[in-house]
Structure 1
Amino acid sequence: MNKVSSSVADAVAAIPDGAQIMIGGFGGSGAPVELIHALIDRFRATGSPKAITIINNNAGNGGIGIAAMIRAGMVRKIICSFPRSSNAEAFNEKYLAGEIELELVPQGTLAERIRAAGAGIPAFYTPTSFGTELAEGKPTEEFDGKMYVRERWLKADFALIKGQKGDHAGNLTYRLAGRNFNPLMAMAADTTIAQVAELGEPGTIDPEHVVTPGIFVDMVVEVPAPEQEEVLVRKGVIY
């Protein structure tokens, strides 16, 4: 039951080319910066992983995190709600050059597609996007006089997430708004890798406070002083 990884580099060492990766965070809140940068370090050293599909709320900001992955040429496709967030130059440049694909998904639909995968629900209906380009080619149906669009669940090979506290069995808690996409993504991936600021033995987290049970987490690594995306962007850091 000991799921502790010795380093962020070891935690991401098995991610292959072409992997579909969910990355937690809502902007910088709950973003696993150190895991992302470890993946970039591996790419620079070995040329792998490449041709990645990223699932996230946005397409990265500034020159760190997801934006740095895109700038490095690691990302083939991104599935997100807000590709044109502030400081999204890396995505803008690659997209306009035809070097990255985009699947645009409304934010609530994105969250529900991920949640549905974790719950074993292959499809659901939502009124969001009906009559727009985002609904083209998707089945629709009328319920109680209102039209709905059928959306499929959204799974991933890996999820990179960030918690506040964790234990050796993989149980997690989150800090404030860091509890956003992270718990959903932990349930929707074949392999979930979590970084936490505090790591302890099983029993150090009150069972009533566990948000993500360890059954959904495959590896956990301690990062005692994690970087915050917004702080790095304001400093102009380029990873």
Structure 2
Amino acid sequence: MKKIYKDASSALDGVLFDGMMIAAGGFGLCGIPELLIAAIRDAGTKGLTVASNNAGVDGFGLGVLLETRQVKKMISSYVGENAEFMRQYLSGELELEFNPQGTLAERMRAGGAGIPGFYTKTGVGTVIAEGKDVKVFDGQDYIMETGIVADLAIVKAWKADPSGNLVFRKTARNFNPPAATCGKICVAEVEEIVPMGSLDPDTIHLPGIYVHRIVQGEHEKRIEQRTVRKAS
């Protein structure tokens, strides 16, 4: 099965549809599938529900889909770096489902593992618990969270082989693996595609059975908050 595509647009061909749910990997601006996000913007797919740790920043990452009003709902744990995200939410233009960071990661992992729900103490006694099933274990309250199964997962990796085995680099190994597993279809953009057999099996972070399509490309290395000393 051929998994390598020439560019992000062709890798998403026949996959996108209005109203779909997308799980996106990355943390802040680290390990985000920027090429695939740009291709979704160019495709004009709208009414999206996006599950991601955050929504990028203004003009980059998932922020570009907010600017074009293609996102209907965000399932996120952090919104602080994106002014347009905050503006749309506060004005009622964007639905937002807040998730504690660990809960969001586990919801993705659970969905990918075929687990429909799980109980956690995180969020008990807060607005996160409103409307959710509560059970007592060892005398303490736990709330039930549901696993996430997305129509599409988009992730960013460092290396891939032609069968789709992925290696993530340092901090980029964050939300990418659980996001990849919870998608019915997973498309990965990578910095380098290496020959089959050149990856040590013990270094592979995500087996290729989870990855359906791969695209190689050049990526921008952005910094969210650049902090430097004044010149002496």
Provide TM-score, normalisation by structure 1: 0.90
Matched residue SS, 1:65: coil
Task: Give yes or no for contact 1:18–1:52 (8 Å, CA) kept in 2.
Answer: yes
Counterpart residue number, 2:28: 27
Per the TM alignment, residue 206 of structure 1 is displaced from its structure 2 partner at its CA by: 1.3
Q: Which structure carries more helix by proportion? A: 1
Task: Give yes or no for contact 2:29–2:61 (8 Å, CA) kept in 1.
Answer: no
Q: Deviations over 1:218-239 (max 9, x none)?
A: 000011x3113437x86xxxxx
Counterpart residue number, 2:229: none
Matched residue SS, 2:197: coil
Is 1:170 the counterpart of 2:164 in the alignment?
Answer: yes
Counterpart residue number, 1:144: 138
Counterpart residue number, 1:61: 57
Counterpart residue number, 2:220: 227
| Pairs within 5 Å for 1:183-222 | 183-222=177-216
How far apart are the structure 2 equivalents of 1:24 and 1:230? 17
Counterpart residue number, 1:12: 12
Unaligned runs of 5+ in 2: 227-232
Residue 122 of structure 1 aligns to which amino acid in structure 2? P
Q: Paired residue for 1:111, among 105, 110, 129?
A: 105
Counterpart residue number, 1:98: 92
Residue 66 of structure 2 aligns to which amino acid in structure 1? I
Per the TM alignment, residue 2 of structure 1 is displaced from its structure 2 partner at its CA by: 2.3
How far apart are the structure 2 equivalents of 1:229 and 1:75? 23
How far apart are the structure 2 equivalents of 1:147 and 1:95? 30
How far apart are the structure 1 equivalents of 2:140 and 2:183? 33
Counterpart residue number, 2:230: none
Matched residue SS, 2:18: coil
How far apart are the structure 2 equivalents of 1:227 and 1:42? 21
Residue 26 of structure 2 aligns to which amino acid in structure 1? G
Residue 64 of structure 2 aligns to which amino acid in structure 1? A
Task: Give yes or no for contact 2:29–2:56 (8 Å, CA) kept in 1.
Answer: no
Provide TM-score, normalisation by structure 2: 0.93
Unaligned runs of 5+ in 1: 44-48, 235-239
How far apart are the structure 2 equivalents of 1:6 and 1:63? 25
Matched residue SS, 1:202: coil
How far apart are the structure 2 equivalents of 1:228 and 1:147? 43
Which runs of 4 or more aligned residues in structure 1 lie more than 2 Å from their structure 2 counterparts after TM superposition?
A: 228-231
Q: Deviations over 1:41-89 (max 9, x none)?
A: 222xxxxx10000110012212112111001010000000012x22x11
How far apart are the structure 2 equivalents of 1:107 and 1:221? 28
Please report the RMSD computed on the Cα atoms of aligned residues, expressed in angstroms.
1.3
How far apart are the structure 1 equivalents of 2:126 and 2:91? 25
Matched residue SS, 2:28: coil
